[in-house]
Amino acid sequence: MSRTEDTLRANKQSGGSLIGYFPLGYPTLDDSIEAAVAMCESGVDVLELGIPYSDPVMDGIVIQKATEEALENGFRLSNAFEAIRKITSRVKAPVLVMTYWNPVLAYGVERFASDLADSGAVGAITPDLIPDEATKWISATDAQNLDRVFLATPSSSDSRVGNASESSRGFVYAVSTMGITGAREDLDAKAKEVVSRVRSNAPKSLTAVGIGISTEDQVRQVNSYADGAIVGSAFIAAYASKGLVGLTAKVRELAKGKS
């Protein structure tokens, strides 16, 4: 069973879910641990912990700056699992990591999956890995009973949407618009289309929409047709502005959109 899927299904009965992203190591490792715990205590239902990477090609400027600061302050991949262990010991929400594929390859696919499971995390989102090239990852996550989340985009063919949906475990990450991540005033109308295509190709799959969500109304809008709303840049910007106080206030604000 998938704890992530169980959480999303249960919450859908009362409205929906808020999935929150925060980068490990930002601004320091200890700070990111406290931020992650505070997010879960303030209304995040599923937590995504970003693993900083030196070439974050899919991330917007807010996330790029945060991950660059984390790396400059000494974050290393070896720090991630102990940090996750500390977070999962304090929260009930399912915890996933979001990571580019190169760090996983460098660390060792089977070793990464094993250490991830040992840390208490429930799985990983790999935005630049497509199922066609994920044979080793699928095998490793199956062996460790981990969720694996692939992306479906507006430009994906039906066959690729179907493959991403069938290969995912936990949920399918439906990208609301083409381009890099970051808060936007208006969500791309293509978000509904991507979710619809996922469900047409894999009726049992759950979907969460990410890239561009920053307001309570957007969280509510996304949860009206998907199974969860993913927020990242807005939370990091709130933390950068007012620290934990700003972050928890933003989480509470957006969490109102679940009902």
Q: How many CA atoms lie within 13 A of 2 on its CB side?
A: 22
Q: What is the CATH number of the domain that holds 188?
A: 3.20.20.70
pTM across the whole model: 0.94
- Give the span between the Cα atoms of 258 and 56, in whole angstroms: 30
Q: State residue 128's pLDDT score.
A: 93
Helix (H) or strand (E) holding 161: helix 158-167
- What average pLDDT does the chain have? 92
The sheet carrying 123-125 orders its strands as 147-149, 123-125, 95-98, 46-50, 18-23, 229-231, 207-210, 172-175, 151-152
| Range 45-61 average pLDDT | 84
- Give the span between the Cα atoms of 185 and 31, in whole angstroms: 29
pLDDT band at 58 (very low <50, low <70, confident <90, very high): low
* Sign of torsion over alpha carbons 213, 163, 104, 81: positive
Residues annotated as part of the active site: 48, 59
Name the residue type at position 174: A
Looking at the predicted structure, is the pLDDT value of residue 203 above 50? yes
- What are the helix and strand counts (H, E) for the chain? 11, 9
pLDDT band at 180 (very low <50, low <70, confident <90, very high): very low
10 Å Cβ neighbour count for 149?
22
10 Å Cβ neighbour count for 235?
24
More reliable by pLDDT, 170 or 188: 170
Q: Could you tell me if residue 258 is inside a domain?
A: no
Q: State residue 15's pLDDT score.
A: 94
State percent of the chain over pLDDT 90.
82
Q: What is the distance of C-alpha 9 from the center of its chain?
A: 17
Q: Could you tell me if residue 241 is inside a domain?
A: yes
Q: Could you tell me if residue 81 is inside a domain?
A: yes
Q: State residue 181's pLDDT score.
A: 47
**Residue partners of 118: CB distance under 8 A and separation at least 6:** 81, 85
Tell which residue, 170, 180, 179, has the closest CA to residue 227: 170
Q: State residue 216's pLDDT score.
A: 95
- Give the span between the Cα atoms of 179 and 59, in whole angstroms: 9
pLDDT band at 186 (very low <50, low <70, confident <90, very high): low
Q: Could you tell me if residue 144 is inside a domain?
A: yes
Q: State residue 56's pLDDT score.
A: 61
Q: Could you tell me if residue 259 is inside a domain?
A: no
Tell which residue, 170, 151, 225, 227, has the closest CA to residue 193: 225
**Which DSSP category does 258 fall into?**
G
**Which DSSP category does 22 fall into?**
E
Q: Could you tell me if residue 157 is inside a domain?
A: yes
The number of folded domains in the chain is 1
> Apex CA 14: angle with CA 252 and CA 126, to 5°?
65
- Give the span between the Cα atoms of 220 and 9, in whole angstroms: 16
* pLDDT tens string 111-132: 999 999 999 999 999 999 999 9
The parent domain of residue 200 ranges over: 3-253
* pLDDT tens string 143-169: 999 999 999 988 889 999 999 999 999
Query: Which range has highest mean pLDDT (148-157, 203-212, 249-258)?
Result: 249-258
Contacts 24+ apart (CB under 8 A), 152-160: 152/194, 152/197, 152/198, 152/207, 153/178, 153/194, 154/178, 154/188, 154/190, 154/193, 154/194, 156/194, 156/197, 158/197, 158/201, 160/130
* pLDDT tens string 23-36: 999 999 999 999 99
pLDDT band at 248 (very low <50, low <70, confident <90, very high): very high
